[in-house]
């Protein structure tokens, strides 16, 4: 078995007073009894470590520490060990009992701050008591994340995982290449770039520029053409393109003009893979088929650009969806940083390519949707789906294609 070495794993430490439920939380997080729990304060003496694959972050180590609020000689030893664990902690969870917040917690917060360890405050035992509004307000004012849980009743454990994903450093979310991994040196790629009203003045958009750069990094070449020139250029080529990448909005025409043995995809599908999880988006897109009148759909964008008259997220996709599924869909648009906590009212979320967002943000959103069992896909997949060319444009990505086919059959 190939295991990620501990040193490469994100270390998540649980800290807090004795008896607040650190060990109970560890057990709830990993779904196993790995740390001993008892009603006697001081149960955990040495830090307990547990390796785990934690979605969506990946390989992590949880460290359950001894409560470090006692001052007898044994207590001092425990305290030392727990503080040593801080040295290897990438993210800390400060576990507190509902209503208990004092100097001890403030000291731990100061320790995290001094060591620049991102942390969240986990209010445990909320089945017994809730934190005071003043405590919570103070934490929020300082920009600290708070989570309310009950380890005993297994409540709120998902919220901890989401907080962890949000606190995890961006470089934990390994980024695939945009398309370079699909190419060999000497290959030719054709990029079809419509220059319409939506195209920014005097430049190309980021995914197009990134694609050109990535192609060059692979020692491959590319031709950049407008859709009106495409057929002519393709016919005049003696070299067969390895791949054609087009804008989603012209995918149907380009698919018709491209021989079946030349692989075709879209910029947004490349972005879906680069910034998110193509397999999951491919699975999510099948939900379009199940949309019924009055279902709620969320269209989410990472940036808040000024919407154009025929804006893709506000006008085009809603129009296509209404035409394809039902004219009576309820469609909400959200742009920028906001993304609702409660997604459960939505039947489907369609996200933009996220060219201005990072991979971590997208994976965290995807994870949240997954937890609430709400289908999520992205612009490019949704458009290609409604244009009837999805299997074709997923052809270069066999696992995504399989995920899509399984979802439409299931």
Ligand X SMILES: Nc1nc2c(ncn2[C@@H]2O[C@H](COP(=O)(O)OP(=O)(O)OP(=O)(O)O)[C@@H](O)[C@H]2O)c(=O)[nH]1
Comparing CB distances to Mg ion, the nearer of 22 and 78 is 22
Residue 208 engages Mg ion in binding (rule: CB under 5 A): no
In the complex, the smallest distance separating the C-beta of residue 131 from ligand X, rounded to whole angstroms, is: 13
Which residues form the interface with ligand X (CB under 6 A)? 18-24, 37-39, 41-44, 66-67, 124-125, 127-128, 150-152
In the complex, the smallest distance separating the C-beta of residue 49 from ligand X, rounded to whole angstroms, is: 14
Binding site partner of 21, from Mg ion, ligand X, none, Cβ cut-off 5-8 A by kind:
ligand X
Alpha helices by DSSP H, 127-266: 133-141, 157-167, 206-217, 227-236, 251-257
Binding site partner of 19, from ligand X, Mg ion, none, Cβ cut-off 5-8 A by kind:
ligand X
Comparing CB distances to ligand X, the nearer of 67 and 284 is 67
Binding site partner of 218, from Mg ion, ligand X, none, Cβ cut-off 5-8 A by kind:
none
In the complex, the smallest distance separating the C-beta of residue 189 from ligand X, rounded to whole angstroms, is: 55
Residues in region 16-75 near Mg ion by CB under 5 A: 22-23, 43-44
Binding site partner of 32, from ligand X, Mg ion, none, Cβ cut-off 5-8 A by kind:
none
3-class secondary structure for the chain? CCCCCHHHCEEEEEECCCCCCHHHHHHHHHCCCCCCCCCCCCCCCCCEEEEEEECCCEEEEEEECCCCCCCCHHHHHHHHHHHHHHHCCCEEEEEEECCCCCHHHHHHHHHHHHCCCCEEEEEECCCCCCCCHHHHHHHHHCCCEEEECECCCCECHHHHHHHHHHHCCHHHCCCCCCCHHHCCCCCEEEEECCCCCCCCCCCCCHHHHHHHHHHHHCCCEEEEECHHHHHHHHHHCCCCCCEEEECHHHHHHHHHHCCCCCEEEEHHHHHHHHHCCHHHHHHHHHHHHHCCCCCEEEEEECCCCCCCCCCHHHHHHHHHHHHHCCCCCEEEEEECCCCCCCCCCCCEEEECCCCCCCHHHHHHHHHHHHHCCCEEEEHHHHHHHHCCCHHHHHCCCHHHHHHHHHHHHC
Residues binding Mg ion: number (CB under 5 A): 4
The H-or-E segment that residue 48 falls in is strand 48-54
The dihedral sign for the CA sequence 262, 351, 55, 108: positive
Comparing CB distances to ligand X, the nearer of 44 and 364 is 44
Binding site partner of 242, from Mg ion, ligand X, none, Cβ cut-off 5-8 A by kind:
none
In the complex, the smallest distance separating the C-beta of residue 279 from ligand X, rounded to whole angstroms, is: 35
Comparing CB distances to Mg ion, the nearer of 38 and 304 is 38
Binding site partner of 258, from ligand X, Mg ion, none, Cβ cut-off 5-8 A by kind:
none
- Do 17 and 100 meet the contact criterion of CB atoms below 8 Å apart? yes
Comparing CB distances to ligand X, the nearer of 123 and 274 is 123
Close Cβ partners of 332 (under 8 Å, ≥ 6 residues apart): 296, 297, 298, 299, 346
Comparing CB distances to Mg ion, the nearer of 44 and 265 is 44
Q: Round to whole Å and give the CA distance between 96 and 17.
A: 7
Binding site partner of 20, from Mg ion, ligand X, none, Cβ cut-off 5-8 A by kind:
ligand X
Binding site partner of 18, from ligand X, Mg ion, none, Cβ cut-off 5-8 A by kind:
ligand X
Binding site partner of 125, from ligand X, Mg ion, none, Cβ cut-off 5-8 A by kind:
ligand X
Comparing CB distances to ligand X, the nearer of 44 and 268 is 44
Pairing between β-strand 243-246 and β-strand 263-266 as defined by DSSP bridges: parallel
Comparing CB distances to Mg ion, the nearer of 92 and 255 is 92
Q: Round to whole Å and give the CA distance between 227 and 243.
A: 15
In the complex, the smallest distance separating the C-beta of residue 96 from ligand X, rounded to whole angstroms, is: 10
In the complex, the smallest distance separating the C-beta of residue 63 from Mg ion, rounded to whole angstroms, is: 11
Comparing CB distances to ligand X, the nearer of 89 and 248 is 89
In the complex, the smallest distance separating the C-beta of residue 48 from ligand X, rounded to whole angstroms, is: 9
In the complex, the smallest distance separating the C-beta of residue 130 from Mg ion, rounded to whole angstroms, is: 22
In the complex, the smallest distance separating the C-beta of residue 78 from ligand X, rounded to whole angstroms, is: 9
In the complex, the smallest distance separating the C-beta of residue 367 from Mg ion, rounded to whole angstroms, is: 28
Binding site partner of 24, from ligand X, Mg ion, none, Cβ cut-off 5-8 A by kind:
ligand X
Comparing CB distances to ligand X, the nearer of 125 and 351 is 125
Using CB under 5 A, list all residues that contact Mg ion: 22-23, 43-44
């Amino acid at each position: 078995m190939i295991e990620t070495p501990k040193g490469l794993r994100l270390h998540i430490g649980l800290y807090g007073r004795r008896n607040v439920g650190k060990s109970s939380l560890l057990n709830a997080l990993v779904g196993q009894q790995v740390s001993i729990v008892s009603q006697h304060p001081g149960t955990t003496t040495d830090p307990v470590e547990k390796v785990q694959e934690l979605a969506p972050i990946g390989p992590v180590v949880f460290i359950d520490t001894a409560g470090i609020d006692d001052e007898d000689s044994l207590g001092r030893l425990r305290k030392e060990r727990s503080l040593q664990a801080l040295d290897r902690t990438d993210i800390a969870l400060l576990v507190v009992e509902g209503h208990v917040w004092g100097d001890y917690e403030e000291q731990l917060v100061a320790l995290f701050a001094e060591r620049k360890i991102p942390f969240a405050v986990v209010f445990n035992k909320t089945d017994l008591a809730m934190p005071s509004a003043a405590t919570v307000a103070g934490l929020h004012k300082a920009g600290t994340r708070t989570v309310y849980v009950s380890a005993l009743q297994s409540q709120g454990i998902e919220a901890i995982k989401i907080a962890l994903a949000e606190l995890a450093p961006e470089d934990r979310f390994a980024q695939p290449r945009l398309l370079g991994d699909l190419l060999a040196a000497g290959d030719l790629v054709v990029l079809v770039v419509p220059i319409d009203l939506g195209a920014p003045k005097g430049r190309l958009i980021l995914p197009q520029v990134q694609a050109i750069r990535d192609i060059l990094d692979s020692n491959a070449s590319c031709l950049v053409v407008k859709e009106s020139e495409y057929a002519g250029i393709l016919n005049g080529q003696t070299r067969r393109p390895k791949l054609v990448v087009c804008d989603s909005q012209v995918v149907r025409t380009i698919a018709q003009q491209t021989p079946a043995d030349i692989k075709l995809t879209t910029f947004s599908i490349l972005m879906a893979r680069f910034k998110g999880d193509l397999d999951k988006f491919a699975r999510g897109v099948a939900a379009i088929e199940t949309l019924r009148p009055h279902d709620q759909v969320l269209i989410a964008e990472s940036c808040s650009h000024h919407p154009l008259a025929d804006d893709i997220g506000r006008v085009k996709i809603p129009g296509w969806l209404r035409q394809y599924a039902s004219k009576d869909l309820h469609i909400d648009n959200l742009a920028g940083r906001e993304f609702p906590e409660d997604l459960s009212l939505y039947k489907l979320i369609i996200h933009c390519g996220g060219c201005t967002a990072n991979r971590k943000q997208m994976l965290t959103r995807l994870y949240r949707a997954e937890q609430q069992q709400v289908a999520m896909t992205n612009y490019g997949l949704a458009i290609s789906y409604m244009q009837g060319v999805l299997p074709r444009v997923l052809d270069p990505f066999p696992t995504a294609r399989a995920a899509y086919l399984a979802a439409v059959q299931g």
